[in-house]
Amino acid sequence: MKIGVLALQGDFREHIRILKKLGAEAVEVRLPAELKGLDGLIIPGGESTTINKMMRAYGFPEEVKKFARKGSPVFGTCAGLIVLAGKIDDHKSGQLNLIDVDVKRNAYGRQVDSREADVTLDFAGTKPYRAVFIRAPQIRKAGAGVKSLARYEGKTVLARQKNILICSFHPELTEDTRIHQYFLDMIPKKA
Ligand code: GLN
């Protein structure tokens, strides 16, 4: 199983570390041609305006959309969620528009930009998951096809629509591997 992590900006190294810990092959992706042969793609946290701009400069948007339309799983964390979303801050369309959610950037607190909180993962028993929020986007609305997988303060913070997974916090910054394992389990088994 070979997973690519978009390595234009942000914390791609941390995702790679967790994927390797789970026994997956993980590679940095810097050019659209490197999507070839991947079983899944992660768009990491960082700064969505920078990631969006760099993606356009390298010709990524169309290629990632094609990759997702083939059914390959794509996982966006924090800024990566913003890149994948349908609508940002009530008006702008997301760069990839691959998941039917409206998000608000930097929605969790002004004075404190970061926080940690326990959430329950619907797919992984009752043991709390410690979620790290860093200037996190908030999912304000989700279409009927979007399944909520975890919530914090009444709002969905982890969600899936078919082969697209999004998370408003940073699962790559904790030692708990359950969310990355869930993503790996989304990859269709080869015959
Ligand atoms: N606030 C960032 C943005 O809007 C996202 C923060 C993050 O990825 N930690 O892009």
Q: Per residue in 119-150, pLDDT tens?
A: 999 999 899 999 999 999 999 999 999 999 99
Ligand 1 site, residue 45, Cβ cutoff 6 A: yes
pTM: 0.96
Please give the Cα distance from 42 to 48 (Å, whole number). Answer: 14
pLDDT-based confidence at residue 114 (cuts at 50, 70, 90)? confident
Domain boundaries, the chain: 2-185
How far is residue 161 from each of residues 44, 59, 83, 140, measured CA to CA in Å? 18, 24, 15, 16
170 is catalytic: yes
pLDDT value at 112 more than 90 = no
Element at 6 (helix H, strand E)? strand 2-6
Predicted confidence at residue 150, as pLDDT, reads: 98
> 104: CA distance to ligand 1 center in Å?
11
Counting from 1 in the atom list of ligand 1, the atom nearest the Cα of 10 is 8
| End-to-end CA, the chain | 13
Assigned CATH class of 2-185: alpha beta
Q: What are the DSSP calls for 133-168, one per residue?
A: EES--EEEEE-TTPEEEEEETTEEEEEEETTEEEES
Predicted confidence at residue 178, as pLDDT, reads: 98
Place of tokens 């999004």: 166
Ligand 1 site, residue 41, Cβ cutoff 6 A: no
Predicted confidence at residue 62, as pLDDT, reads: 98
